[in-house]
Structure 1
């Protein structure tokens, strides 16, 4: 069953049930109020009879002449003795004589439903001198007019309920269509995306921005935007990776062919080919290693966090790179709290990436500084500063994109793959920190990393969050 049909039936059935209960209450209240009024009239008639001189003389009850003037149409007056015997009975309707004859010392009022009519009935004990029981007075009245009114009322309520049910079905179908229209559009767009692979969004009218369906549509559009961004970046990543892998493989294949043809005869050519193959193989190794690092970080975002000495880790890493590259690295530590909660291996990899970039693109000493954030002593700032070639300001926002390099030829000469800063930002974000770059051409570059000393382990941000 379609959701639209379910909503229509639910609305219609709810309205019918409410109307049915309302009809029952209305009918009950009309009957109750009307019969109470009739019973009050019967008690008034009984008081009128009680004011007659013959009322308290049982031997005079049998004289009908004093009772007939008090008898109204559709009514019965009956006197019974204490043994439940009828003393006198006057019936103007001809249908009330079958009412039960039962003496009772209590005053009784009730409404009786018979096959032919609705009857209001009262019975009042009659007390003689010295509180002796003489018998009882019974007055009953056939409520034909009320019965007709109730028949009309039932007919009106039935037609009203049937009309309301029909209108509720029509209105339910209309409102269900209006309410489900955005969901229907969502379904069509989802089917279109599934069939055609083209990302689409639902156009949301201004009047529906704040209701539940509006929020659902907004969430769907936001999700589609993120999926589209992730898809485009994945395509770009695959294209860039293919391009980066294609170049060294082409070089290796070309030199291998060259060796196969001429390498055995020309020692210089053979040496050149071997060196080129070795260099490109090294670039391939570094590239695949970087790709594996990114893949592992995304596949296993929950990494163990432990306490470690941040200053000691940065100092030993800087010293190791200084010996490896034979370049001066100046380390400055201004921290008061040295212990950090995080992943020391990843933080060390972060330091290596930043120092490696600074060494590649500058010839002067590199500075690395640790200090507390002036606004929060529990956030540490790690700054790596070089006095190298610098970067144009327009290029800075794209530096964290995978495979992006400011100068392809210059990056190739330095052996870069364009993945270092992308990995660096992943590491920073996994520690709930931030990374920023400030640079000027010809004056150098400063990379600032802000890390909380007590970062909590959490999942890495999604691709669309950390790649632009």
Structure 2
């Protein structure tokens, strides 16, 4: 069943349910008001009878002539003794004799439903001046007029309910078509995108929509835009990776052909070819490792996240790199207990990337600073500062692009492949932080990483 049909039927059935409840309440209200009014009239009619002396004289009960002036059309007057024996009865409708004749020492009123009509009656005890109960007086009335009114009311309610049901079906179909039109358009755009491999977005009106459908459309457009950006980045990544892989593979192939033709008899040529092939193979291995690392850091997730001491991680990493590169690394920790929530291995990789770049392009000591952000106490700042050759301002925005190198020759000499800072940016992004670079030629470079941290261990 289509969604449009479901909504239409839901609207129609809900309206019919409301109408049925309304009709039932209306019917019961009319019946209750009418019977209450008739019972009130019966009590008022009983007052003159109860003021007659004959009511308090049981020997006059079998002579009912004095009661006839009080008998009205479609009514009954009955007197019974304390043994529920009927002493006198006057009625203008035979159906009124169906009222039960049962003595009661209290006053009450009731309504009974017969096959022909609705009957209301009252009953009150007859008590003389000596406070002795002599019997009971009953007065009843057949509500024939009410039955006619109720039949008319039921007919009117039935036709109005049918009309309302038809109207709700037609209006439900019309309004659901208007409401679901954006959804149908959205489904069409999804189908076009799937079949043609495009990234079409759905247009919003100039004033936009501020309801749930508008939110759905904006979310869809944002998702399509993100998919298009990722697709374009993937195409660029594949093109750049193919270009980067092509060079070492070409060199390996060339030297392999050279060895095949001339290397057997020329020892120097053979050694040169083997050295070149080995060098390019190492470069291919490093490039492949960097590509896998980049792909892993682009995947969202918080696997292997834990709380760790950022200050201790900086000290141990700096000590290891200082020993490996035989370079002086100056560590300045202003937050001795900087507790960070994240992946310690990725943060260590981030630190290694930043320090590796600083060591490669600087001959002077490299400074590592860990401090609190002066604007937000819940943010820690990691700074790696070198006094190296620096970078021109025009190149800074592209430093985080994949395979981007400021100087191809210089990067080849240092063994870089242009993926380090791209990996670093992904690690920072996964940890909900930011990274920025400030640099100038001949004055050095400063990389600032801001990450959220916990000032104390979490409560268990």
Note the C-alpha offset of 1:148.
0.9
Partners of 2:354 and 2:384 within 8 A in 1: no
SS of the counterpart of 1:244?
helix
Unaligned runs of 5+ in 1: 324-328, 458-468
Runs of 4 or more off by more than 6 Å in structure 1?
none
Q: 1:128 deviation in Å? A: 3.8
1:345 and 1:84 map into 2 onto residues whose CA distance is 100
- For the 8 Å contact 2:399–2:421, the answer to whether it is kept is yes
Query: Which string of whole-angstrom CA distances, capped at 9 and with x for unpartnered residues, describes residues 336-395 of structure 1?
Result: 445665766555544443344345446x5353343534625983533232331x433233
Cα separation, partners in 2 of 1:223 and 1:212, compared to 1, 3 Å: same
Aligned pair in 2 of structure 1 residues 146, 277: CA closer, same or farther (>3 Å)?
same
Structure 1 stretch displaced more, 106-115 or 74-83: 74-83
**Which residue does 2:385 correspond to in 1?**
384
SS in 1 for 2:406: coil
Q: In the alignment, which of 314, 318, 340 is matched to residue 314 of structure 1?
A: 318
Q: Is the 1:96–1:140 contact (alpha carbons within 8 Å) kept by the matching residues of 2?
A: yes
Match of 1:198 in 2: 198
Deviates more, 1:239-248 or 1:420-429: 420-429
Find the counterpart in structure 2 of residue 463 from structure 1. Answer: none
1:289 to partner: Cα distance:
2.2
The whole-number CA distance in structure 2 between the counterparts of 1:219 and 1:377 is: 30
Task: Give the aligned partner of residue 106 of structure 1.
Answer: 106
Structure 1 residues 279 and 301: CA distance shift in structure 2, 3 A: farther
1:120 aligns with 2:120: yes
Matched residues in 2 for 1:217 and 1:292: separation?
35
Partners of 1:283 and 1:189 in 2: how far apart?
45
Mapped to 2, the partners of 1:36 and 1:409 lie a distance apart of: 105
Q: Distance in 1 between matches of 2:45 and 2:378?
A: 97
8 A contact 1:310–1:338 mirrored in 2: no
What CA distance in whole angstroms lies between the structure 2 residues aligned with 1:371 and 1:128? 107
| Aligned match of 1:466 | none
Deviations 1:401-437 (A, max 9, x none): 2212234455345432111111223344455553321
Indicate conservation of the 8 Å contact 2:192/2:198, yes or no: yes
- Quick one: distance in 1 between partners of 2:418 and 2:146? 95
Unaligned runs of 5+ in 2: none
Alignment of 1:72 with 2:72, yes or no, is yes
Cα distance 1:349–1:43, how it changes in 2: closer, same or farther (>3 A)? Answer: closer
State whether residues 248 and 284 of structure 2, in contact with CA within 8 Å, keep that contact through their aligned partners in structure 1: yes
Deviation, 1:211, is 2.7
Distance 1:427 1:319, change over 3 A: farther
CA deviations over 1:232-290 (Å, ceiling 9, x no partner): 22222222112211121112112222332344466665555444333322321221121
Query: Could you say what secondary structure the match of 1:146 adopts?
Result: helix
Aligned residues: 449
Instruction: Report if the CA contact (8 A) 2:297-2:430 is conserved.
Output: no
- Find the partner of 2:329 among 314, 328, 331: 331
C-alpha change, 1:225 and 1:367, in structure 2 (3 Å) is: same
Does the CA contact (< 8 Å) of 2:378 and 2:454 recur in 1? no
- Counterpart in 2 of 1:368? 367
State the shift of 1:310 in Å: 2.4
Q: CA separation of 1:103/1:374 partners in 2, compared to 1, >3 Å: closer, same or farther?
A: closer
Q: 1:157 to 1:374 in 2, by over 3 A?
A: closer
